[in-house]
Homo-oligomer: A and B are copies of this chain.
């Protein structure tokens, strides 16, 4: 079904059909209705490729994210999708599995696909190989979750959030607080969160035990169980770099015969919706995942409307919230191995 067919059947020119759809008030009500009726009869759908080719605008946004298996990004994507539709845009999401080369491949794919703009969550803006190319290509883009002085970003103050969380744990009587993280090198967020942890510990005058880094999420439970059993001065609280890690930490504690939160408090980061349905309900630093997506889209659309590309000073810092759950409690008055500490 082409515009030609509609024009022929309606007895008007293709230009008129085009106008009837794109500028309804530039044609007389009579012809407009005629065209609309015929189009409906013929089941006409304007061809997006032809339109894109002609106008040089696709009304499609590319989205690059690490994975959808982490509900954090699924929630964010949901926010992106909703805002995109509201703004008249479609989206093409591509996942990268936290791999640098995949990030670059994804950007290429999307650029070749004529997207008008990009929203991306990269491993690390500083080391990303995809970003420089994007910049020179002149395509508007915005980073979500990442935080970097040279790029437009929509994020939260991870560092401050974790530092605050440490303070809370200290107020609950915890002294031996450890941090659990994925590969530090693979994510600027993990690095920021770790810095926040170190800051919080320093502020409280506490020694920070070595970071518990679990390179592969699949092995997190085993690695953690090992740590929880082996350590003599076992931590009484764990701050986890994300909720998935927190969930696995709770399991690791269980497998080590520790009860959460009585023997071990666990705090997550992300605020995935599922966390509230767990038993114990996850105590976590909640990010507004859906809003991060929404604001990214709105920023992008706004910039595109102005025909410009986004600058770093357009960055947005969204509020986070400490979400109380049941995986976190006061440190026991009576600590085991007290003599050894």
Binding stretch for chain B, among A174-182, A200-208, A245-253: A245-253
Known: A77-B68, A278-B251. A45 touches B92 (CB 8 A): no
Q: Which among A58, A68, A112 has the greatest number of chain B C-beta atoms within 10 A? A: A68
A: which residues have CB within 8 A of B?
A: 43, 45-50, 52-53, 58, 67-69, 71, 74-75, 77-78, 81, 90-95, 108-109, 111-114, 136-137, 221, 244, 247-248, 250-251, 254, 273-274, 277-279, 281
With A68-B68, A93-B93 as known contacts, state yes or no: A45 contacts B251, CB within 8 Å.
Answer: no
Do most interface residues of chain A lie in helix, strand or loop, or is the interface mixed?
helix
Please, how many angstroms separate the alpha-carbon atoms of A338 and B247 in the complex?
37
The CA of A113 and the CA of B75, in the complex, are separated in Å by 24
CA distance A69 to B251 in the complex (A): 22
Most buried by B among A46, A244, A277: A277
A112 to B68, CA, bound (A): 26
Q: Is B279 a contact partner of A251 (Cβ separation < 8 A)?
A: yes
Residues of chain B lying within 8 A (CB to CB) of residue A109: 90
Give me 18 A-to-B residue pairs in the complex whose CB atoms sit less than 8 angstroms apart, sorted by A's number.
A45-B111, A46-B112, A47-B114, A48-B112, A49-B114, A67-B78, A68-B68, A68-B77, A69-B78, A90-B92, A90-B113, A93-B93, A221-B277, A244-B277, A247-B278, A251-B281, A254-B279, A278-B278
Most chain B CB within a 10 A radius of its CB, from A52, A75, A221: A52
